[in-house]
């Protein structure tokens, strides 16, 4: 199914009702706003993924124009990606986390793990909130990652904060 821009709750209900006949019966909704910078950054990635996974319904919802859909899913941050199995929400990613989005879609579409059972427990992807903390972590233990991996995988906002604190401490040390 090609990428669909939602215009109403009844349109969404019709799409979800029609997808019940599909084997996968899966959908992902991109809740976005035209004024949202991160939404504009991740939009081409979402569109590209829609072409790679034809068995998944890719839907877009402008939260300012289709408020009833945004209210139904209690969207409070943009972008938010809501994953549905039939009409039931089974996973959510808040923020423009391209790797998390692709990983979750891959798992959800059944191409990442082989059999593609499609169960709700298959969602083990790592999403990011707008504050940068993990909403669903998949690492087995903190000691499993090397120190360079921990720095590389830090949220960009945390990296900026650490750089500012480091600069402040260096300036403080040099003036004292």
Helix, strand, or coil (residue 86): coil
Residue 66's pLDDT is 92
Please pick, among 15, 39, 78, 96, the residue that the annotation labels catalytic: 39
* 39 given a catalytic annotation: yes
Helix, strand, or coil (residue 25): coil
Residue 30's pLDDT is 95
Tens digits of per-residue pLDDT, 15-58?
888 766 554 568 899 999 999 999 999 999 999 999 998 888 89
The stretch 105-119 carries a mean pLDDT of 54
Closest CA to 124 of 138, 141, 144: 138
Higher pLDDT pick, 122 / 126: 126
Please pick, among 36, 56, 66, 122, the residue that the annotation labels catalytic: 36
Looking at domain 4-122, its CATH superfamily turns out to be Glutaredoxin (3.40.30.10)
CA distance 111 to 54: 12
Which of the listed ranges 20-29, 114-123, 128-137 does the model predict with the highest average pLDDT?
A: 20-29
Angle ∠(145,107,156) on CA atoms, nearest 5: 45
pLDDT range class, residue 2, cuts 50, 70, 90: confident
Residue 146's pLDDT is 60
pTM of the model: 0.61
* 61 given a catalytic annotation: no
- pLDDT at 154 exceeding the cut of 90: no
CA distance 157 to 164: 11
Average pLDDT, the chain: 77
Tell me the CA distances in angstroms from 48 to 2, 43, 145, one per residue in order: 11, 9, 30
Domain boundaries defined on the chain: 4-122, 142-175
């Amino acid at each position: 199914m090609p990428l669909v821009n939602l215009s109403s709750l009844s349109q969404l209900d019709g799409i979800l009702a029609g997808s019940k006949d599909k084997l996968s019966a899966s959908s992902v909704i991109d809740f976005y706003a035209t004024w949202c910078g991160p939404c504009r950054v991740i939009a081409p990635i979402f569109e590209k993924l829609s072409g790679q996974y034809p068995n998944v319904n890719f839907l877009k919802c402008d939260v300012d124009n289709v408020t009833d859909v945004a209210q139904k899913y209690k969207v409070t941050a943009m972008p938010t990606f809501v994953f549905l199995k039939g009409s039931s929400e089974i996973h959510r990613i808040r923020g423009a986390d391209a790797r998390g989005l692709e990983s979750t879609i891959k798992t959800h579409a059944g191409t990442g793990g082989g059999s593609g059972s499609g169960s709700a427990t298959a969602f083990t992807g790592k999403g990011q909130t707008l504050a940068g903390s993990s909403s669903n972590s998949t690492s087995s233990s903190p000691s499993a990652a090397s120190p360079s991996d921990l720095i590389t995988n830090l949220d960009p906002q945390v990296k900026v904060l650490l750089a500012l604190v480091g600069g402040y401490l260096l300036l403080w040390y040099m003036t004292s």
